[in-house]
Structure 1
Amino acid sequence: MSLVTDNNHSEEVKIMRKLHGNLVLEESGFFSKITQKDSQLNKNAAESYYSNWKDAGRLEDNEKDVEQRRYEAQNMTNSFYDLVTDFYEYGWGQSFHFAKLYKGDSFRENINRHEAYLALKLGLKKGMRVLDTGCGVGGPLREVVKASNGAHVTGLNNNAYQIQRCEAYSKKYGLSEYTSFVKGDFTKMPIADQTFDAVFSVEATVHAPRLEQVYGEIFRVLKPGGRFACYEWCTTDMYDESDMSMKKVVHAIEKGNSISKLYTISECLQALKSVGFNVIESEDMGVVDDATNPWYNSLKAPDKGLRGFLRSPSGRAYTNTLLTFLDKFKLVPPGVLATSQLLNGAADNLVAGGEMGIFTPMFFFLVEKPMDA
């Protein structure tokens, strides 16, 4: 069931369908999808995104730029996902996130476990009403439905293309009864107070202009006693913003992933407390131990198989070379090659941030709304 307020005749949905072409609801090949995009609209999306980073090389004094990106965050991130969604599905499948990589397990097994862990920590059961804040194309959402044996999960997303993909996948996998989707800004949710028993988010709330804004809305739509579990992107205690080499890496992560400004772990926890949550537990799940490989191996030394190759340095170079050729002969719309280059730079700096220990994509926390709230 869809809760999208725009119908298929709305102006926004019509533009989305024109931009992405006739394969919006299909699982067609990557190159089929990108070559059929509308050239002018794809160019517009690229220009809209990059306009927020025109002064990105000036690291020593960029607070004005940060505030501008915060102001434009919703439009910026919407343009970003219009550009990158097909790339993400090409390299990652239906779940656009990292995971704790246990030795001996496949990438897909680790990804599914990472998602199911949220259902476990939230104590989800059949019939509970749950919100996925920033649901992408719904990979984690569908895994949580299955891990909970039938909790109903609503996906909230501000990108019309991804909402359409969510609906298509739910129908394909027979999960429409257990899923619904809302198109909307997660800092101004079109959802009534105290609607949900639980909320989760997987590497998505980082796109908010300020974490307090999205955490405050999650607090509002949760029932008293309800819990919120999340994997958040944060800088670690090892990050020193006065170190220009570190700052360059973090800034590149922000630019390559539509993030106005990364919070530190301590700032993240303070943001949760400031809106009223009680913190039950928190942990950087990106820390490597004897049983795991570094999370950034998903990009540096991934599993065997086609998608593993496509995420690897060699696979990314292969894709970029092919797109360079297609771009030269105008066989792909303007902005496609630039998107490939943006994501390659993001991948390189995510690995660098992980190796330096200054960044984690999986700061896990479990918080609760007080019963008397």
Structure 2
Amino acid sequence: MTDSAEQSGLATMRPMVREAYGPADLSGEPIFAGGFINFGYWRAIDLGLPLGEAERVRSQEDLYRHVLDAAGLRKEPTEPAESRESTEAKGPKVLEVGCGLGMGCAVTLREYGSAAVTGMDIHPQQLRRARDTHADLLRDEPERLRFVQGAAERMPCEDGEFDVIVSVEAAQHFPDLGAFAAETARVLRPGGRVAAASFFTVDDAPGRPEELARLLETFADGLDIAWPVNVLTEAFTASGLTDVRVESIGPHVWRGWDLWLGRWWSPETWPRNFLRAYEERVLDYYVVTAVRPE
């Protein structure tokens, strides 16, 4: 990565995103155990038992698994690297938009037999951390994993380059969902699928951003954007994608996330208001999928 490319990426980032994923390094916080940065998908975890780091990591991996399944990927038996005849023949090419430390990229390679995974992130510090974290894989199997700097609204990718695009808990940071959808449609091959998971407002009723800003600091300080989920679905449709579907997974996200947060924050503190926002039908967690027509 050149200095000019790095500076360009920094210039296009909103200030709170630059801070949270740069100097603040959310991936190093205990609430995001294992280097993942997502709220988790807790369906397979017994929330009646004490939650430890193993359960927390499982929840974050399971969110990726749910999204990868929604994108149409299928798990394959793992094989030793030396037994692979051709990575080109193994499976689809996958792009993760907003890859962070690349932990989801590693899950994809380990469990879904993908031919190649590209992790893209706008933040150069995150990319340096990702390359350090996965140095062995990058050295031993460079044809299967790469990390590139790019914005969701301006992807450094060829037309029709990918079979699958996934994005896990990043869209709440994207300043232009229309541009993200257009770029997604451009870099997907005909017949390719996208699955994007994040938290959105349940509708576009007036005052939703103000409601969330009162409840949650991340919306008040500008880290998260109060996008209605229909903005993304309409953007996908406007970009020519079809079979656009929305799945609420809130029942399997919010309670587990709130219980985990309870290890650090008491009920009256702002982080515990994520569950409140869900219960008051202001915010929910969705997986949005679509297909580029053949």
TM-score bucket (shorter structure):
0.7 to 0.9
CA distance in 2: counterparts of 1:146 and 1:181, whole angstroms? 17
Structure 2 residue 192 is matched with structure 1 residue 226: yes
- Name the structure, 1 or 2, with higher relative contact order (CA <8 Å, separation 6+): 1
Tell me how far 1:89 sits from its aligned partner: 4.2
Does 2:95 align with 1:131? yes
| Residues 178, 255 of structure 1: alpha-carbon distance in 2 compared, 3 angstrom cutoff | farther
Structure 2 CA distance for aligned equivalents of residues 243 and 118 of structure 1: 26
- Whether the aligned pair in 2 keeps the contact of 1:170 and 1:179 (CA below 8 Å) is no
Q: How far does residue 109 in structure 1 lie from its aligned partner after superposition?
A: 2.4
1:274-285 aligned at under 5 Å gives the runs 274-285=238-249
Give the Cα separation in 1 of the matches to 2:25 and 2:288. 26
Residue pair 2:208, 2:282 contacting (<8 A) in 1 also: no
Deviations 1:27-76 (A, max 9, x none): xxxxxxxxxxxxxxxxxx9xx9xxxxxxxxxxxxxxxxxxxxxxx65455
Larger radius of gyration: 1
Check whether the contact 1:13–1:160 (CA below 8 A) recurs between aligned residues.
Answer: yes
CA distance in 2, matches of 1:157, 1:255: 24
Select which of 31, 34, 40 maps to 1:99: 40
Equivalence map 1:262-281=2 (5 Å): 262-281=226-245
- Residue 368 of structure 1 aligns to which amino acid in structure 2? V
Q: Which residue of 1 aligns with 2:276?
A: 352
Alignment correspondent of 1:211: 177
Aligned 8 A contact 1:154 1:181 in 2? yes
Match of residue 108 from structure 2 = 144
Summarize the alignment of residues 167-316 of structure 1 with structure 2, pairs less than 5 Å apart.
Answer: 167-172=131-136, 176-237=142-203, 240-242=205-207, 246-249=211-214, 252-256=217-221, 258-259=223-224, 261-286=225-250, 288=251, 292=252, 295-298=254-257, 300-302=258-260, 312-315=261-264
Offset at 1:191? 1.6
**Residues 42 and 59, structure 2, Cα contact 8 Å, conserved in 1:** yes
Could you tell me the percent identity over the aligned residues? 21
Unaligned runs of 5+ in 1: 15-44, 49-71, 303-311, 318-343
Aligned partners of 1:73 and 1:207 also within 8 Å: no
Which protein is richer in helix relative to its size?
A: 1
For residues 153-211 of structure 1, the C-alpha deviation after alignment (integer angstroms, 9 at most, x for no partner) is 10111111110111122224566442101112221112221111110000112212121
Q: Name the SS of the counterpart of 2:135 in structure 1.
A: helix
Q: CA RMSD in A?
A: 3.2
Change (3 A) 1:296 1:213: farther
The two structures have a TM-score, normalised by structure 2, of 0.77
Measured in 2, the distance between the counterparts of 1:297 and 1:87 equals: 19
Cα gap change, 1:247 to 1:199, in 2 (>3 Å): closer
Gaps of 5+ in 2: 48-54, 75-89
Structure 2 distance, partners of 1:169, 1:73, is 23
Specify whether residues 12 and 213 from structure 1 end up closer, same or farther in structure 2 by C-alpha distance, changes over 3 A only: closer
Q: Which residue pairs with 2:58 in the alignment?
A: 109
